[in-house]
Amino acid sequence: MVTPTAPASHPPAHARRILVLWLVSSAIAVPLVIWVLGPHLPPGDMSSEASDQTSANIVLTAVSTPIVLLIAVYFGYALIFFRSRSAQIEDGAPIRGHGPTQTLWLVLTSATVLALAIWGSLVLVVTAHGAGGGQGPSPVAKPPHSASALQVQVIGQQWAWTYRFPGYGALETAQLELPANRLVQLNVTSLDVTHSFWAYELGVKADAVPGVNNIAFVHTRGTGTFSIRCAELCGLWHAHMFQTGRVVSPAAFASWIAAERKSQALNQKYLPPYSTHYFPNPLRRAG
């Protein structure tokens, strides 16, 4: 005599359960991502550009969270309810695909990617004016009042960063300090090989290429320190190109620049004339 088995759950019942689990987990996780994790996402808020990048990271993480949860919920549900409970393990029926599900997945993912691409272009290019990226010698996206920006030249060389201030007698310094709440135009170049100036917490990353003036704008906010690294493999001591920059109050910046001009007065006469870019000169190379 054959004992009847309980009928399996109807497929729509499984779909409803998965949908409910996904909606509940998304409703919990997305607010946590936005308000708990979001403020800690890089690069921070030391500049307007960094803040815009952080906002973009929050949006991208929040949008991707339901997608990741859908996959996790489905696989978790399948492992619990669809596994074989029989001692005899056999292959299940072959799956040939499900057209409506595949079509829905393609439509939703394509719409998500296109929407993020359009949003990112508007925010990072139009609103944020490039968001700290180098735009070459003739920037297309300039922030308002760019003509009054503080000019700072960033010079990469094997294997150090130096900085010149054309508005202060073309002073060259070995450390970088910037005034808070000020628009700064960074003119990034190199003396030898290609480097990449990466001021992490400021949200700035621009290639330093010999013979090229690569302009990046940044609007500083509160005071603090930021990491400076070279993001382009540039030789044996590439990892040595690490510094800590500072954003200070305008009064502290004025005191610092005055002290630097005084201490570097004797060295100024040995510097080449200020230029927006330089060409490789073996005599000025550090290695």
Domain boundary among 127, 161, 196: 127
Is the separation of the CB atoms in 70 and 22 below 8 Å?
yes
- Is the same domain home to 224 and 186? yes
Peptide bond between residue 43 and the one before it cis (omega within 30 degrees of 0): yes
Q: Would 272 be classed as within a structural domain?
A: yes
* Closest CA relative to residue 211, chosen from 279, 152, 283: 279
What pLDDT is recorded for position 230? 95
Q: Cα–Cα distance between 74 and 19 in angstroms, integer?
A: 9
Q: In terms of residue numbers, what domain contains 30?
A: 11-82+114-127
Q: Would 87 be classed as within a structural domain?
A: no
Domain boundary among 70, 96, 127: 127
- Is the same domain home to 74 and 184? no
281: confidence class by pLDDT, cuts 50, 70, 90? low
**Residue 98: strand, helix, or coil:** coil
Using CA of residue 25, residue 28, residue 30, residue 36, what is the dihedral sign? negative
pLDDT in tens, 214-270: 999 999 998 999 999 999 999 899 999 999 999 999 999 999 999 999 988 888 888
CA distance to 13, 16, 113, 151, per residue, from 10 (Å)? 5, 10, 34, 69
Q: Would 98 be classed as within a structural domain?
A: no
Residue 252, both tokens: 């502290």
Tally the domains of the chain.
Answer: 2
Q: What are phi and psi of 218, to 5 degrees?
A: -145, 135
- Is the same domain home to 55 and 151? no
4 pLDDT exceeds 50? no
**Range in 97-111, 166-180, 187-201, 204-218 the model is least confident about:** 97-111
Residues 6+ apart with CB under 8 A from 55: 123
Residue with tokens 């800590």: 244
- Is the same domain home to 50 and 161? no
